[in-house]
Each structure stands twice: as C-alpha cells, then as structure tokens.
Amino acid sequence: GLTQQGNAEVTDGVCAILEAAGRTPLLALSSSTQAAMDNPYGASKRAAEAAVLGFGSRTGARVRVFRLPGVFGKWCRPHYNSVVATFCHCVARGEPINVSDPARVLDLVHVGDVVRAFVGLLDGVEPPMQGQYCGVEPVHQIALGALADKIRGFREARTTLEVTDLEDALTRLLHSTYLSYLPDGGFAYGLDQRVDPRGELAELLRSRHFGQIFVSRTRPGITRGNHYHDAKFEKFVVVEGEAVVRFRSLLGGGVSEYPVSGRDFKVVDIPPGYTHHIENVGSADLVVLFWASEPFDQQRPDTWAKEV
C-alpha cells in the first residue's frame, strides 16, 4: 500500500542511489516508536529503518535512526496521526472529541525539540541513543483523559481568565499548540466590563500562582479606591493620562502623594495597611493597569473602605 511505498520503498531507493553513486553522507531517518508494533505502519517503518541501518553498515556512512513517539506542535494535520492536533483543532472549533481510553498514557515530544535534534546532528551534537536508535528529549507523558481536559481548559480560559501553569513545560507547550489551531478570525475575544459613571474596569488574567491583572479607564476628576488591604498587595501602572496616587497609613500620619503619568510608565507599589486611592487629575480619560497579589475572592475580598 501507500504506507509501504512511502516509508520502505522510497527509503530503500534513496539508499540504493547513494550507494550506487559511492556517496556516504550523514543520513538521518525519522521513524516512529510504532516500528516496534505489529501493524502495517509499524512494519513499513521497520523496513525503512533496516534500509538505512543496512546502508550504514555496508558503506560506513554515518546513519542515525530516530524512533519518535507522538510529535506535537504547530502545523500538524488534524484527523491524521496526532491526537494532540485533532483535539486542538476540534476543541478550538467547539466540535466534540473522542477519548477512547482516558487512562492510556501517551509519550509526546515537541516538534521544536525534534527539529533541534535534527539540526544538532549537522553541528556534531549526538542525540541520546537507545541501542541503535536515537531519541529526542525531553519526552513528556500525559494520560489521554488529562490531555483532553487540558485542551478543553485552554478554550475555557477565555471565560475563566485562568492562566496556564507556565512552570509546567508540557502544559505551556500544549497551550501554545492549541492557540496555533484557532480558526482564522478566532484570535480575539472580549472581556466582561464593569461600567459605571466613573468609567470602565475589566479583568484580563488571573491565577492562584501569580495573582490577577485588570485594567481601568477613569473619567477626568474621578477618584478610584479609598480602601486598604490587610495582606493583599498591588502594583499600579498608568498607561495613559495624568494621575496622583495618595496613601495614608492606618497607624496615623499625613497623606503622601505620588504623581504618575502615562509618559513615564512608573510602577507604584501598594503596601498593606495603607488606605489609598488614585485620582485622574488630567483632562482626558485615565487608563491604568493593575496587578494584585491574589485573585479577587468575593468570600474573602481583603478590601476595606476607608477615605484617604
């Protein structure tokens, strides 16, 4: 069939042409861990491996056979031979996915690491060997059900605003891969805005690992804040406009002022135990980016009203 022709016969033909011409270049083959399995695809991969290894032993050419597990990353064709590509493609379009065995553990390598291993050969960097076969590192493991849950979670993150755990390499790479499968026209999404006479406010991102980011637009002459926190702390950055941030310690003393402007990108730290506010002292709308050390929790807001 086509699999046998593509994997075995073409590889055998390439090796025969090189041998007839007396050429012994570095020859690398992209094979699959399926080569160890008893199915037509695996058999064709084994035959291709045998052709390359035989060429190397007969001619002394430097040959490297990579037995790759599941490869994932951008530009892989869905509904073909990558479950990651299929799941990402379908979930990004709101289509159902089939999780045949949630407990089945997958071995995965990212396409970037595969390319680095291939290019490394040209620079004399040897890949890790497993007998006569080469591997690619790192190999990531995840159960099929957990993979499906993660990818669904990437779609839901536009609503929950929860940020991927970027410390986990597999999660970070899977989220990157998922975004590459968004349909054309589906890159942008709106945010829920809280609107009142003072202006608008919207949350951008949240995570229990790094806190919360939100942005506000405030009308001229308007003041936001007049509250303090017991433990939570924040950072303010004026993106556009002119403002003054004022503080007063709960222990007493006077009011301190920090003029800030969108021209400066100055960060103002908001310590606990200080009631504070920010006033738009300019003639146009004030745009401020806020970071808080923890996502807002309605049950434990740690936000107490008090005039500066």
Q: Which residues are catalytic?
A: 41
E runs forming strands in the chain: 27-32, 63-68, 70-72, 105-110, 129-130, 133-134, 140-143, 193-196, 199-207, 211-218, 223-228, 234-240, 242-249, 255-261, 267-270, 274-280, 286-292, 304-305
Contact 98, 151 (CB under 8 A): no
Contact 264, 288 (CB under 8 A): no
Q: Which of 84, 272, 268 is CA-nearest to residue 176?
A: 84
177 — phi, psi (to 5°)? -65, -45
Long-range contacts of 191-195 (CB under 8 A, 24+ apart): none
Structure tokens at 286: 């004030």
Give the CA distances from residue 97 to residues 80, 204, 245, 266, in Å, rounded to whole numbers and listed in that order.
14, 29, 50, 47
Structure tokens at 185: 């026209």
